[in-house]
Structure 1
Amino acid sequence: MAGKVRHLVNRKGRYHARLVVPKDLRQIVGKTELRAPLGGDYRHALRLLPGAVAELQHQIALAERKASTKRSIGAPRYPLAPDQIAHSHYMQRLEFDDELRNDPRYASVEIDELLVSRLRNAIAGRASDDELRQLVGRQIEQFRKAGNLSAKPGSDEWRIVARALCSAELEALARAAERDEGDFAGQPSDPLIKNAQPPEDAAAPVNLAQLWSDYKASRKQAGFMKDNGRRQNPVIENLRQHLGHSDAARITKKDLLAWRDKLMQDKGAKTVSDIYLSTVRSLLRWAEENERLPTNVAATVRQPRPRRQHGRERGYTDAEALAVFNAALSYKRKINAVGRSETPHQAAAKKWCPIICAFTGARISEITQLRKEDVRQEDGWWIIRITPDAGSVKAGNYRDVPLHPQVIELGFIDFVKAASPGPMFHAGKDPEKYATAASSVSDEVAKWLRNSGLIPEGVWPNHAWRHRFKTVAREIGASDRVTDAICGHAGRTAGDNYGDVTLKAKERLIEALPEYQLV
């Protein structure tokens, strides 16, 4: 063999078979690596190596079965191709032949011609599963126990391996016959054995958690993932638990397909597709592009999503919007049966956030994260700044949105002036956790609106304002480019990125929005 031989090490002039114990099995094995002595002669060590490695792999497999009560075992840990299995067995049989020739009784042993005939029939594909099991079933199980294959008995893969082992047996018998005549220089003639490639070195482990951490750092450096992957972090942990290990280099497409199918048992197709698979696909694509992994095994792992059927418009109608608007304006802080009240922040969110969303088309979490310092007056207009500094902005950039005169008339600026510095609609203290706190309040607002009985079936309580804002903007003939700039939507064409949407253009659109006729 040219170059460095896998699993063979030389320590102080003596050769050893060496196998590193996987990290997740070291507590069971009690060692970080396993070794078996092979002597001081290089050629002799090479002959002993396949059998020694198989024995070490068997020890790992036994430890893995002990750990199987805590996790499931998927693909074999040390997979070998059929020709590699055949070559390993061939080398072990030659070594065993050497040992037997040291026993004087071996001289009376002759080649079994019936066995030769049965092996040739098996190689030709004329043997049944039972016959193959009789010929090489024990050897197949030895390789299975060593973690080299997982083929089910009787499967096509199992029969291929069985026939390869029969070729190895036949070649070993041919060498034995040559040795009986004093010729110990014979080489295998079967291309399966002669051309077998040595196993490639296993890919270096790539810690999944570290890979995810590095990916997030890269995304944040580029201006994305301001919330530190709050929504995606559970995805990576879920995948790790499913795999039963933390080595990203060992993840296969088959693993991801099984994970997807398991997720579909209790999650919707959209969630599996847009959150779980999308997150892992992006992570592994980044890992491949940055040479952390050789390939992106998730590239073609998809989950089809049924097209959502809408039985009505997704935004509020005039009557629905007015009812929600009035309910928000008249909201009073609630006190339950035991005298506990909701926080002032929650009560303020239920009053002002729907009203602001009605006139800005903003995402609800962009409003629940507003801070006192995000509201300012400029050239006679009151303006709110929606910024990632306050929590999370989907597009990643800040935007200024003028407030409609009716919002001012209803007393919002008085509320702002009376508020303490910092978030006005949640009680978060740590800026790193503002996004989580704002999202929690957003959910509270949606829950309150649903429980109020004002939200029709099929309408999202908060997002419906976003749809309605665009509808009303079109009705008054507003520019879609200006509407997108207010809502935080990206332009649809390259031309949309030319020129700026000024505050003056936004103010003109906001001012043209009709007021709500309050009761």
Structure 2
Amino acid sequence: MAGRVRNLLNRDGRYFARLVVPKELRPYMGGKTELRTALGPDYRTALKTLPGAVAALQHKIALGERRAIEAGERSITIGRYPLLPPQIASRDYRMRLAHDELIRAHYHQYAGFEVDYEKARRFRDGYSGKLSDDELERLVGEPIEEFKSLGNHTATKGSVEWRLIAQALCVSAYEAMSRQHERNDGDFKGEPSHPLLTTAQPAEDDRQPVSLKGLLTDYLDERAADGKGGEARKRWTPVFASLSKFIRHNDARKLTKQNVLDWKDASLKTLASKTVGDVYLASVRTVLKWAVNNDRLETNVAENVRIKVSKKQRSREQGFTLDEAVEVLKVARDHQPKHSANPQTREAPETTAAKRWSPILCAHTGARIAEITQLRKQDFRYENDVPVVRIRPDAGSVKAGNYRDVPLHQQLIDLGFMDFVNRAADGPLFYPASKKKDGTLPARTVAGRVSDWLQDKEVIPEGVSPSHGWRHRFKTVGREIGIADRTLDAIQGHAGRTSGDDYGDVTIAAKAAAIARLPRYEF
């Protein structure tokens, strides 16, 4: 009798698919105790449409289970992101075509292989219902389990839902093989013809949006807890604002690879390829990867979106030559600010000091210019009568994220630098103290002024960075006189090249001995 068919309900001559809602899920499904779908008055039609209707109702219950999971009511297992069989087939079809495109891009011989027509026939028999469960498992068992591991279904072999999924996957595989055959003949315009794929509804998605900007904030907050990420917060925040503005929403779950590709192309119209590749795309990849690792997103759609940036052709060495270095140091030593009666245009004494001292400090420490311009009086001390500067992140920003101690060269002492430090007020040496801004912004501002000033003086040769030219020269001179690379790296704040570099310490005494060997600049 009809009433004995599982999940089939007869009410006054009309048939319904019916599922009971588990008690623990009812608060997350509007208080409903059961779900029904009308199947009409004809018994044979009702039996034919019952499996699909039951699968749809099971999908709704799985969505209720997910809401319960997100509310903390149940442990997360499988079934987190349920899909109907046609939706699973649609995703499988797209994945197969994407794999086909990838193989064609890497192996040109691939297009010469013929389609396995016998296997195609088996897929056709599978979706027509001719195959047993065991035969279906051998044919599409692997993708069934893959989608199950992704949380798209909870079906077990032998159930109605399992067979519906298996038959749907036979459809997607058969249609994908048809596209492969067409592509071998150069036709890339083919579309699926089976109704299961052409009428598949987009996957229902009632999860809460995941804020792109919120992911960035959470990632940076986690980095900040480890004392890192301060510089990234300033550089990456406008990047994520740009991406959100371009795609016209802020939901990371709706972000697609095509969105990222289009954003990349649009950004390249106004920005250098290195900036787009190394800052824009790299930051989005990093944050989305973190989101995937922390179960905030399912996939990192930006993972393979990259720009191949050709290395800039160099026509000379990257560091200053000795003559060029001496010329820069002479200009710095002789700098006198222009007289101005207007306080608004008068050069601040801290800026004057930065212009006079930062070049020679860079020359003898190999430090980055912003690491110099952020220095404070309290960053200097004596160790066994050796003056030492501690370059540390709490003063502003340190690229490697860790502090480092650098002994001062005797030439700096002879020029009176420590006398200048001793006379200075507590706080920053090269910019006015402010409670409103941390040291990174003003230090970078002053560093930019020093670089612009030196370029205006026309003492910076083409192809050399006004600040990084000193870092290159420091390393070059150190190697010339036989200082070990590990010691130079420790002084300059470069990461070690091997895991062995992490063992032992390069002491202040070792650094002081190395710096004492560096030649003086005669200017």
Q: Name the TM-score class by shorter chain.
A: 0.5 to 0.7
- 1:194-273 maps to which residues of 2 (within 5 A)? 199-227=203-231, 229-273=233-277
**Aligned residue in 2 for 1:308:** 312
Matched residue of 2:360: which SS? helix
Distance 1:509 1:193, change over 3 A: closer
**Aligned residue in 2 for 1:456:** 461
Distance across 1 between alignment mates of 2:520 and 2:84: 73
- 1:264-303 maps to which residues of 2 (within 5 A)? 264-303=268-307
Distance across 1 between alignment mates of 2:190 and 2:479: 68
C-alpha contact (below 8 Å) 1:205/1:248 kept by paired residues: yes
Match of 1:435 among 435, 440, 447: 440
C-alpha contact (below 8 Å) 1:204/1:249 kept by paired residues: no
**Aligned residue in 2 for 1:43:** 38
C-alpha contact (below 8 Å) 1:82/1:160 kept by paired residues: no
- 1:10-409 maps to which residues of 2 (within 5 A)? 42-43=37-38, 160=191, 199-227=203-231, 229-335=233-339, 340-409=345-414
Distance across 1 between alignment mates of 2:497 and 2:362: 23
Determine whether 1:446 maps to 2:451. yes
Distance across 1 between alignment mates of 2:190 and 2:84: 13
Distance across 1 between alignment mates of 2:490 and 2:296: 38
Q: CA deviation at 1:430?
A: 3.3
C-alpha contact (below 8 Å) 1:285/1:296 kept by paired residues: yes
CA shift digits 1:8-62 (9 cap, x unpaired):
x9868899xxxxxxxxxxxxxxxxxxxxxxxx97527999xx9xxxxxxxxxxxx
Distance 1:13 1:398, change over 3 A: closer
Distance 1:203 1:360, change over 3 A: same
Matched residue of 1:43: which SS? strand
Q: CA deviation at 1:304?
A: 0.8
Distance across 1 between alignment mates of 2:346 and 2:253: 52
C-alpha contact (below 8 Å) 1:390/1:431 kept by paired residues: no
C-alpha contact (below 8 Å) 1:227/1:391 kept by paired residues: no
Matched residue of 1:230: which SS? helix
Paired letter, 2:267: L
Paired letter, 2:460: I
Q: CA deviation at 1:201?
A: 2.8
Matched residue of 2:390: which SS? strand
Distance across 2 between alignment mates of 1:356 and 1:246: 45
How high is the sequence identity, in percent, across the aligned residues? Answer: 46
CA shift digits 1:360-419 (9 cap, x unpaired):
000111100000000111211111100001011111111110111110111111111111
C-alpha contact (below 8 Å) 1:363/1:466 kept by paired residues: yes
Paired letter, 2:315: G
**Aligned residue in 2 for 1:150:** none
In structure 2, runs of 5+ residues without a counterpart are 1-16, 22-27, 41-45, 54-82, 91-186
Distance 1:471 1:13, change over 3 A: closer
Distance 1:41 1:500, change over 3 A: closer
Distance 1:406 1:10, change over 3 A: closer
Length-normalised TM-score, structure 2: 0.64
Q: CA deviation at 1:308?
A: 1.2
Paired letter, 2:503: Y
Paired letter, 1:43: A
**Aligned residue in 1 for 2:496:** 491
Length-normalised TM-score, structure 1: 0.64
C-alpha contact (below 8 Å) 2:329/2:359 kept by paired residues: yes
Q: CA deviation at 1:335?
A: 3.4
CA shift digits 1:156-197 (9 cap, x unpaired):
999847x56xx6xxxxxxxxxxxxxxxxxxxxxxx6699x68
Distance across 1 between alignment mates of 2:322 and 2:483: 18
Distance 1:198 1:480, change over 3 A: closer
Distance across 2 between alignment mates of 1:450 and 1:81: 65
Q: CA deviation at 1:200?
A: 3.7
Paired letter, 1:269: S
Runs of 4+ displaced beyond 3 Å: 1-4, 9-15, 44-47, 80-84, 156-161, 191-194, 196-200, 335-339
Distance 1:211 1:13, change over 3 A: closer
C-alpha contact (below 8 Å) 1:226/1:388 kept by paired residues: no
**Aligned residue in 1 for 2:507:** 502
In structure 1, runs of 5+ residues without a counterpart are 16-39, 51-79, 88-155, 168-190
Matched residue of 2:313: which SS? coil
Distance across 2 between alignment mates of 1:509 and 1:160: 69
Q: CA deviation at 1:204?
A: 3.0
**Aligned residue in 1 for 2:421:** 416
C-alpha contact (below 8 Å) 1:281/1:296 kept by paired residues: yes
Q: CA deviation at 1:247?
A: 0.6
C-alpha contact (below 8 Å) 2:478/2:488 kept by paired residues: yes
Distance across 1 between alignment mates of 2:379 and 2:233: 24
CA shift digits 1:446-465 (9 cap, x unpaired):
10010001011111011100
Cα RMSD of the aligned pairs, angstroms, is: 3.5
Paired letter, 1:211: L
Paired letter, 2:386: W
Matched residue of 2:479: which SS? helix
C-alpha contact (below 8 Å) 1:369/1:423 kept by paired residues: yes
Paired letter, 1:371: R
C-alpha contact (below 8 Å) 1:269/1:306 kept by paired residues: no
Distance across 2 between alignment mates of 1:397 and 1:251: 35
C-alpha contact (below 8 Å) 1:220/1:228 kept by paired residues: no
Distance 1:257 1:428, change over 3 A: farther
Distance across 1 between alignment mates of 2:437 and 2:236: 16
Q: CA deviation at 1:210?
A: 1.5
Distance across 1 between alignment mates of 2:260 and 2:226: 28
